[in-house]
Amino acid sequence: MLGRFFVFLMLFMGAMLGLVLADDLIALFVFWELTSLASYLLVGFQSEKPAARRAALQALLVTGTGGLALLAGLILAAIAGGSWRLSELVSAGEAIRSHALYLPATTLIVLGCFTKSAQWPFHSWLPGAMQAPTPVSAYLHSATMVKAGVYLLARLDPAFGGTTAWTTTLLVIGGVTMLAGLLLALLETDLKLVLAWTTVSALGALVFLIGPATEESAQAAMAFLLTHALYKGALFMAAGNVDHEAGTRDLRDLSGLIRAMPITFAATAVSSASMAGFPLSLGWVSKAITKAAAIEAGGFAPVAVVTFATLLLVAIAGVVAIEPFLGRRSEAAREAHEAPPSMLFGPLALASLSLLFGLFPDLVSDAVLTPAASAVAAFPVAVEAKVVKPFDWTLALTLVAFAAGAGLYVLWQRRAQRWRDRLEPLVSRGPDRGYDHALAGLGRLASWQTRVLQPGLLHRYTAATFGVIVLATTTALFRGDLRLAFPLDGVRLIELAVTALTAAAAIVAAIATTRLLAVTALGMVGIGVALIFMLFGAPDLAITQFMVETLVVVLLALVLVRLPGFRLSASADRPRALHAAIAGATGLLVMALLLGVLAEPFDAKLSEWFARASVPEAFGHNIVNVILVDFRALDTLGEIVVVFAAALAGLAAIAARAARRGEA
């Protein structure tokens, strides 16, 4: 069990590493899809739970559909930019933005990135993916895989960014996702789902920050990326500890855990402070850079969104850090113990880093943030991270947001249940329900088209096949100029006799009222065709035709004695007039085609070559056989594989009938 888990996790690690290292667009796409597949396996790891299976499928379908859009978008981008290399596309921004394919390519790529990074309205798979074991949630669904879309948007920023369409889309969708995620987080009762919604919100924030494609926004996005990775990983693992030691993640049952789990509480508190952006944490530093970028992006709206997000994050930090740990000791807290050291190391290490980098931001600003921001902006960018700031109106705004957030948390403690009850009908009609409807609709569409296209009635298949052949070929014939030839000289009497006999047999087969008569007449038609082969000097074909007709009669006889009703019914379920029309049209079409072929000059190049080469190259006088087993042996191999496969399919069909009979 654990072995399987690590195989999937390693598979994911490899794919994710490939995704961020790939320079080739197709390689990037392949790794992109591999991360989706690994995520499917990991979300559905506890496959005995129906909820886990549903969540895994939902994640795969949403990100997989987006992946297809991304592939199309990447191809268009490669056409527009003239290169399949990401590094070359980045410097071909001018050409891409003025290309006619810019808008379709942008739409498709952005769609792919939005599904992968759980942007509204595709976000609902991410909270569902919390069915996965906690390390997976911390690793895939907060730190790495869901950042793939953000990563690609950031990488393509220099090539695609700067236009109104790009900036508006990213700002609006990112902003909506950021705020909606935070509001929904406040309505959750499950600690892990609260974190999942803040992840959705953080992804929205990253998209929001990438949107303007300026120097400041690149700095802010990269600073926030690092901050979020550090605090969210620690919080997820701490939530896992709580779940493991207290036996529940439900916020309504958790309080007063601080005495039992002081170390977990310390890690949670520091990380939550970083999430809220309190001073002395990395969150404080990145918040300052974000504020600067929001002001630079222009105007009131971005600043208002960022401030409002700060307010909500402060309240959520209270929900995550204060609610389970402080207050009166609950039932669950009495039983709880501190987690073992192996489970404490992860959250503590990440929380310490949040604190350390918060106090000494120079440790990361030059080594990590500057190169990252320069890569996003495609020109050198210096990230200046400061702990101490002069007091101005932005700082005042931040302090107001802190105070309001604290107030909101106090309000949440009293009113949360009422909010949940009141908003329940609204929330339950969200995109998650839409996904269910879409999936059910897809199922209905599939069964409808299967009923129409696969009725299981041979005469419908045959009618459809020949109907399409007639329509398509006739259309093609009339588009060119059709010349027909009627070479009637040199016709022998015996040819006419055989032809008349064959035609008569065909008519009898068509109007026969019993199966035996129909089979006999059909055999007659085959014999007639064989005779024609004989008359025109093709003994191999003629013998084959004779033998095939013999075996067909044997097989049909075997089938016939097992069919009910000896008489052919002329009942209403078979539209005989339509069938007659299709059959007649097919016959006329084939005749027209053959007469048309005769009107063209005969090119004897191939047949002359075979006649010449047969003996010296293949030591055989029978050209037909030499072609079959030597010159075109690969074709023959394919044909006998088809014969073999047909026999196996027939055997399976007969065995299935026998099995059904056995049951009955």
Using the rule CB under 8 A, is 651 a contact of another protein?
Answer: yes
Closest to another protein by CB, 437 vs 661, is 661
Cβ-based neighbours of 250, under 8 Å, separated by 6 or more: 189, 190, 191
Distance of CA 112 to the CA centre of its chain: 9
| Residue range at the interface with another protein (CB under 8 A); choices 116-124, 427-435, 517-525, 545-553 | 545-553
Please state, in angstroms and rounded to a whole number, the distance separating the CA atoms of residues 613 and 619: 9
Using the rule CB under 8 A, is 559 a contact of another protein?
Answer: yes
Cβ-based neighbours of 349, under 8 Å, separated by 6 or more: none
Using the rule CB under 8 A, is 537 a contact of another protein?
Answer: no
Q: How many residues bind another protein (CB under 8 A)?
A: 45
Closest to another protein by CB, 454 vs 550, is 550
Position among 426, 452, 640, 664 found at the interface with another protein (CB under 8 A): 640
Position among 517, 544, 579, 589 found at the interface with another protein (CB under 8 A): 544
- The answer to whether the CB of 303 falls within 8 A of the CB of 291 is yes
Closest to another protein by CB, 426 vs 458, is 458
Using the rule CB under 8 A, is 646 a contact of another protein?
Answer: yes
Burial of 610 (0-12, 13-18, 19+ CB in 10 A): middle
Please work out, in degrees rounded to the nearest 5, the angle formed at the alpha carbon of residue 301 by the alpha carbons of 296 and 303: 55
What are the structure tokens assigned to 20, written together? 């961020």
In 10 A of CB 332, how many CB atoms? 21
Closest separation in Å from C-beta 536 to another protein: 14
Please state, in angstroms and rounded to a whole number, the distance separating the CA atoms of residues 104 and 116: 19
Footprint (CB under 8 A) of another protein, residues 492-531: none
The label of the residue with tokens 């690609």 reads 152
Closest to another protein by CB, 590 vs 615, is 615
Please state, in angstroms and rounded to a whole number, the distance separating the CA atoms of residues 97 and 165: 11
Using the rule CB under 8 A, is 539 a contact of another protein?
Answer: yes
Using the rule CB under 8 A, is 584 a contact of another protein?
Answer: no
- The answer to whether the CB of 3 falls within 8 A of the CB of 45 is no
Residue 213's alpha-carbon distances to 25, 70, 239, 384, in angstroms, are 21, 20, 35, 18
Closest separation in Å from C-beta 36 to another protein: 37
Closest separation in Å from C-beta 121 to another protein: 52
Closest to another protein by CB, 46 vs 622, is 622
For the chain, helix (H) and strand (E) counts, in that order, are: 29, 0
Please state, in angstroms and rounded to a whole number, the distance separating the CA atoms of residues 659 and 141: 47
Closest to another protein by CB, 479 vs 621, is 621
The answer to whether the bond into 121 is cis (omega within 30° of 0) is yes
Using the rule CB under 8 A, is 562 a contact of another protein?
Answer: yes
Beta bridge partners, 190, equal 250
Q: What are phi and psi of 250, to 5 degrees?
A: -75, 120
Position among 410, 445, 655, 659 found at the interface with another protein (CB under 8 A): 655
The label of the residue with tokens 């049952």 reads 253
Closest alpha carbon to 269 in 339, 332, 223, 323: 323
Residue 298's alpha-carbon distances to 304, 397, 505, 506, 518, in angstroms, are 11, 17, 86, 83, 84
Footprint (CB under 8 A) of another protein, residues 600-629: 618-622, 624-626, 628-629
Please state, in angstroms and rounded to a whole number, the distance separating the CA atoms of residues 87 and 155: 9
- The answer to whether the CB of 332 falls within 8 A of the CB of 426 is no
Beta bridge partners, 85, equal 24
Q: What are phi and psi of 299, to 5 degrees?
A: 95, -175
Closest separation in Å from C-beta 559 to another protein: 6
Using the rule CB under 8 A, is 659 a contact of another protein?
Answer: no
Position among 400, 491, 548, 591 found at the interface with another protein (CB under 8 A): 548
Per DSSP, 129 falls in state G
| Residue range at the interface with another protein (CB under 8 A); choices 44-52, 85-93, 338-346, 644-652 | 644-652
Position among 598, 654, 656, 659 found at the interface with another protein (CB under 8 A): 654
Footprint (CB under 8 A) of another protein, residues 185-224: none
- Torsion angle (degrees, nearest 10) of CA 78, 81, 84, 88: -160
Closest separation in Å from C-beta 516 to another protein: 14
| Residue range at the interface with another protein (CB under 8 A); choices 90-98, 360-368, 424-432, 546-554 | 546-554
Closest to another protein by CB, 253 vs 630, is 630
Using the rule CB under 8 A, is 664 a contact of another protein?
Answer: no
Closest separation in Å from C-beta 608 to another protein: 20
Using the rule CB under 8 A, is 650 a contact of another protein?
Answer: yes
Footprint (CB under 8 A) of another protein, residues 236-255: none
Closest to another protein by CB, 95 vs 629, is 629
Collapsing DSSP to helix, strand or coil, 235 comes out as: helix
Closest to another protein by CB, 301 vs 647, is 647
Residue 658's alpha-carbon distances to 205, 509, 553, in angstroms, are 62, 31, 23
Position among 1, 426, 458, 558 found at the interface with another protein (CB under 8 A): 558
Closest to another protein by CB, 1 vs 664, is 664
Closest to another protein by CB, 448 vs 566, is 566
In 10 A of CB 586, how many CB atoms? 16
Footprint (CB under 8 A) of another protein, residues 33-92: none
One-letter identity of residue 151: Y
Closest separation in Å from C-beta 619 to another protein: 6
Per DSSP, 326 falls in state S
Closest separation in Å from C-beta 546 to another protein: 9
| Residue range at the interface with another protein (CB under 8 A); choices 1-9, 496-504, 540-548, 571-579 | 540-548
Position among 643, 662, 663, 664 found at the interface with another protein (CB under 8 A): 643
Closest to another protein by CB, 338 vs 630, is 630
Q: Which residues of 411-436 are buried (b: 16+ CB within 10 A; e: fewer)?
A: ebeeebeeeeeeeeeeeeeeebeebe
Closest separation in Å from C-beta 566 to another protein: 9
Closest to another protein by CB, 403 vs 655, is 655
Closest separation in Å from C-beta 367 to another protein: 56
Closest to another protein by CB, 506 vs 560, is 560
End-to-end Cα, the chain, rounded Å: 41
Closest to another protein by CB, 215 vs 549, is 549
Tell me which residues touch another protein (CB under 8 A): 539-540, 543-544, 547-548, 550-551, 554-555, 558-559, 561-564, 618-622, 624-626, 628-630, 633-634, 636-637, 640-641, 643-644, 646-648, 650-651, 654-655, 657-658, 661
